[in-house]
Each structure stands twice: as structure tokens, then as C-alpha cells.
Homo-oligomer: A and B are copies of this chain.
Amino acid sequence: MTDGVPDVDLDAVRREGLLPTRGSEPAQHDGTGRVDISFSVDTGPDAPATQRNVRVPPGVTVFDAGSWNGIAIDSTCGGHGTCHKCKVRVEGGSPITRHDVRTFTQEQIADGWRLACLVQATRDLEVEVPPLTTRPKAATVGVGRQVILRPALQKRYVELAEPTLADQRTDLVRVTDAITDLELTADLPVLRRLATVLRQADFKVTAVIVDEALIDVEPGDTTDQRYAIAFDLGTTTVVATLLDLGTGTPVAVASMLNKQQPFGADVITRISATMMDPDTLDRLREAAGATLTELAEQVCREGGVDPAGVYEVAVAGNATMTALALGIDPEPLGVAPFIMSTALFPTLLATDLGLSLHPRARAALFPALGAYVGGDIVAGMLATGMDRDKRTRLFIDVGTNCEIVLSDGDTILSTAAPAGPAFEGGAIRCGMRAADGAIETVQLDDDVELGVIGDVEPRGLCGSGLVDAVSEMVRTGLLDSSGRFVPDHVAAEIAPALSPLLTRIGEERVFLLHRPTPDAPPEECVYLSQRDVRELQFAKAAISTGWSLLLEELGLEQRDVQQVLLAGSFGSYLSPAAAVRIGLVPKLPVLRIVAAGNVAGEGAKMALLSVRERAGAAALLEEVRYVELSDRPDFNDAFVEQLAF
């Protein structure tokens, strides 16, 4: 006689207030084992039922399992247990909730009919989905993810009866009584204006709702104006996408450098800055706010959208960027044992981020798995469906801090590897960002063939160019497997055309990639130095140690990996062949190495388009195990082993 909801231990998650508390509590599980749900979708009288089998972690609701796999089930409340529309038949039944009792007859319950958002898949299930009464919209986002549109933001146009002495319901109850499928709450700013708006608009108004919060009541019918902005809040670059939530399509995109740049190029420098001067945290928060604000203004201008008509933003950023944007003291993130103030965030307003959009616009910030596997990675995992794919997949976001996620289809592990700045051109003699003049591809044959960004005179070497150059030198034998330039006589023998490019600057051996003039001295050339190779070597060793230890944890070999997803802009430029050759990724056929693009931004868009996907992101915190590398006794041995090319 309990309510049928398994006793779960999501205390940590629930206490921090993010995870929906009704209808979608994943059951506790040990990180292994999935359940199979076989959906039989009735597509109408003229077509046979469609069969779909999906695998999900135990405890996921049938509604979410469908939603996450593009199987639409009727719903207006978005899986909150309030609209009573997501009817399905579960073979063999499932625990009965009081909502079922209100929705179905005794016979239907006995026959297995239940509300899908309240059925937790704790065993393999066969589920029958009746024909849809409404046609849900869907959008393709992320890495081929089909997302059914169910934004947290909803608008409802209502024409209310005017009050009389016989009907003295309060203004608020008059609105909420007209929207029975949601349990709405309103805060003070809405209450302040409510009476005025209702009467000026003759009680014909549009309720603006985010989740179950009534954030505004607008005169007349404004249901066609539903906008939100997805932010990818990077340490270096920030990207904003203005979304029309009615259609699921992007209206405008803009990007710019994070205005926190003057405080330091990477997160550690910025954290250090706050430790030197207590005012710096405020200034970093303001810089983040100014960046987001400028981008928001730009996409609104380009999209022809009034900023006051943007009701929600989603932000995917790493743990430090997120903390700084919110004004949360980041110091413990920067020093061992690397502690976050919180992994999950309470209900936030866009104004908490310094944004001036709709005054009650909400902000959804992606939760983090750890100090160095942040909300951007959680967003990336959402966009790449790391938890909803049966294949063994490796997700690598290469950067100063490199985040690595490994899933074998059952268990998901994550870790962070301190790769250092080599991939961003830092600590590299001729290193530079991926901007005009940067060498991004290198091919060594009889000559040096360079691909240069902007098709201009080469000025330096960006990360992908660095990887390419090293990879090509390994391939041609100019670098030995220990990462040392071969002696000149060996070079002359194995690559006579290239060996003249192997020279010295002072004591250090260098390989010239580009000479501005035929007789320019080495110092004026773009070159790769022995120390640069060492920097890259250490960076790649940190990363490959990361994924190799994760593989070891799951008892897997490199060849078991069916797909490697290279995330982020660096991942898009990197040559898969070069990455394999230097051992940055497992030794696999290059077709298995996929550039996944800006998956953090895609994840942020998904969170805006679907409240179920957003719940999925929160559920990832329960599902993904964070592996801390820095205190592992086997780390150093593994690292040394990975140093070789």
C-alpha cells in the first residue's frame, strides 16, 4: 500500500532542488544494467503499429524513455503528472498511483493502463502507445538527436469570466482555474500587476509559464511570440543562439570572445585573480554578464525580436565559468581537492546573470559532474546522447582541461585530464589561436604543405596544426617514438628533402615549417621546436592516460571503442588521422573518429526545446560516475607509458 514509487536515494540531487520531484525520479542503480522497453506505437487505423525497442537506465519513466528516443506520447504538462494525458498500456501493469485512479476506470487499470510519466521502468517493459491526439513538433539538434518540442516555456491564451458578487475568486485563481493541467505558482512581481493587466485586457490574456511558474500575464493573445536564448559560455568564446520555441528553429546566432579574457586565458588564472583581490570576483561576474548581454542584444537585433519577449535562457559552461557568471566564490575549484559550491542550481532568473530580457525570464544552468567535468560537458553528453546509445563510445573535449567520458552502453564514466595550454597554442614557441594566419594542417612529403586559416601568409601554429605537424614528423620518421628529433644524419637518410628544415635556434633543435623569405633566419620562421614536441607529448599523454584508465575501469581495449566523439571547436579542426597517429585517441579506423562540433551549445538548445531533455541532463548526474585521476597511484605509471607516440 505504498504509492508505488520505488524508494530512491536521490537525496543529494533533490536537496539541491533541481531534479523534478514528481514523475521522473530515476531509481537508484549501481551504474550497470539497463532495462529494455519495447514500444508498440499505434499510428492510426490505416497503419500497422510501429515497433521500437529502447534501452534506458532503470528508473527512467516510460514517458522520458519515449521522449528521449523520439517516441511522442500525448502530454500538455510536459511530464509533470498534472495533465493526465500521457496514457499508455503497460503489459503486466505497474504500480498504481493516485493519478491513475483519477484518470482510468477500474477495468482500464486492471488492463494495464497507466500515465506514462508516472511509470518507472524498473524492469523490462512492453508498452502500447495509443494514437496521438495532437501532432507534436520535433526538431533535430545535437548529434542527430530528434527532440520532441516540449519547452519549459509555455504560453496559454485564456478568456476569463469577469468577476461578479457570486464569483469572487481571486484574480490569480481565475487564471489558474483556466489552466488545469498545470499547478501554477506566481511570485510577487506577477501579483503586483495582475489586477491591472486583467482589467485593461478585458480578462483576455496570455499566461506566460516556465515550468509551473506563472512569470507573466500579457494582454491579448501573444502565444506566437516564444523566444529563448541558448548560451555556450566558454572560457575563450561565448556563443548565443536565439531560438523560436514555437518552431524549434534558431533565429540568429552570434559569438564573441569572453570579456573575462583580460583576467587570464584559462580558468586557473581567473580563479587566481579572485584570490589576489576580493573585488575581482565582482568584476569577473560583470564581465560575464556584459558578454552575455552583448550577445543577447546582437541576436535579438538580428532576429528582429524584442528582448522583453525572451523568457528563458539556458547556459552551458564549465564549473568555473558558471560560478564566475553567478558570482559564486570559485577559489575551492582551483586548489585540491577541487570542490564545487554546488553541482545543481536553484531556480534562477536571467537577471541573476546580468541579462536584461523579460524581467522574470528564467535561467537554466547545466549542472556539473565535478569541478573539471562541468555543465558544458553534461550539455555535450545530452547532445551526443551518451546515455542513450548502446555502442561503446568515447567523448573527448580537448582543451587546457580535457574532459573525457566513456560509455559502454551500460555504465558511463567521466574524468578530466590537465592537458595544459598546448592545444590552444599556449607554451608553444610559434603557437597561436586558430585565427587568420594560423597553420591548421601540415603535410610532409617532398615538401611541406600547409593549410592556413584565411589563406594568408602563415603567422604561427594553432592546435590542430601542431598535432598535424607532430603526426607527420612521426610518420616520416623525423620524430622517434620517444618524441625526440632524429639525429641529422638519420634525417638526411630517411627524408632527404625535408632534412634541411631540421636546424637549431641556439641550443634547441627546431623544424622549420614556413620561411617568410628563402634566406630568413630560423628565428623569423614558423617552426616546431623540440620543446614544443615535449609540450604536446605531455598534453596528449595526459589525455590518453585519462581515456586508457577509463577503458581499464570497464575492462575494455582500445579496439572496443565504436565511436570517438571529438567535441568543441578544436575537435572540429583536428585531423582524425593525426589524432590517431600521435595517440591522442585510441588506435581506431579514422571513420570511427567523429568531430561532434559545438555540442555544449547544442545541449543548451535541447534544454530549451524540451523539459524532458533538461530532466535527462539532471539525471546524468546520477548516472555518470566521476573518476578522479589526481589521487590514483597508477596514474604516473600510466602517464609515462602514454608519453610515447
Interface residues of A (CB under 8 A from B): 1-5, 7, 11-12, 14-17, 95-98, 101-102, 163-173, 176-177, 180, 183-188, 191-196, 199, 326-332, 336-343, 345-348, 352, 370-371, 626, 628, 630-631
Contact = CB atoms under 8 A, between A and B. Distances in A.
A341 B176 CA distance: 12
Given A3-B97, A171-B340, A194-B329, 19 more contacts: A1-B3, A1-B4, A3-B3, A3-B4, A7-B98, A11-B177, A11-B183, A163-B339, A165-B337, A168-B338, A170-B343, A171-B339, A172-B341, A186-B342, A187-B346, A191-B326, A191-B345, A194-B341, A196-B331
A200 to B, nearest CB: 11
Given A16-B173, A327-B192, A168 B370 contact: yes
A348 B339 CA distance: 31
Contact of A101 (B2, B95, B170, B187): B2
Nearest to A199: B332
B96 A183 contact: no
Given A15-B185, A327-B192, A342-B191, A630 B165 contact: yes
B173 A15 contact: yes
Contact of A332 (B184, B195, B327, B346): B195
A341 B191 contact: yes
A98 B3 contact: yes
A339 B165 contact: no
Given A7-B102, A185-B16, A170 B342 contact: yes
Contacts of A184: 15
Contacts of A169: 12, 339
Contact of A98 (B2, B14, B371): B2
Q: What is the total number of copies of this protein in its complex?
A: 2
Nearest to A339: B163
Nearest to A7: B98
A171 B332 CA distance: 10
Contacts of A101: 2, 7
A168 B370 CA distance: 8
Contacts of A332: 163, 171, 195, 199
Nearest to A194: B341
Contacts of A11: 176-177, 180, 183
Contacts of A192: 326-329
A478 to B, nearest CB: 40
A346 B188 contact: yes
A466 B176 CA distance: 47
A165 to B, nearest CB: 4
Nearest to A175: B15
B329 A2 contact: no
7 contacts: A3-B3, A15-B185, A16-B185, A17-B186, A168-B337, A170-B340, A192-B327
A332 B326 CA distance: 39
A94 to B, nearest CB: 10
Contact of A176 (B12, B168, B630): B12
A14 B193 CA distance: 21
Contacts of A98: 2-3, 5, 7
Nearest to A628: B165
B188 A348 contact: yes
Contacts of A336: 165
A339 B168 contact: yes
Q: Which 7 A-B pairs have the closest CB atoms?
A: A3-B3, A17-B185, A165-B631, A172-B342, A195-B329, A15-B176, A2-B98
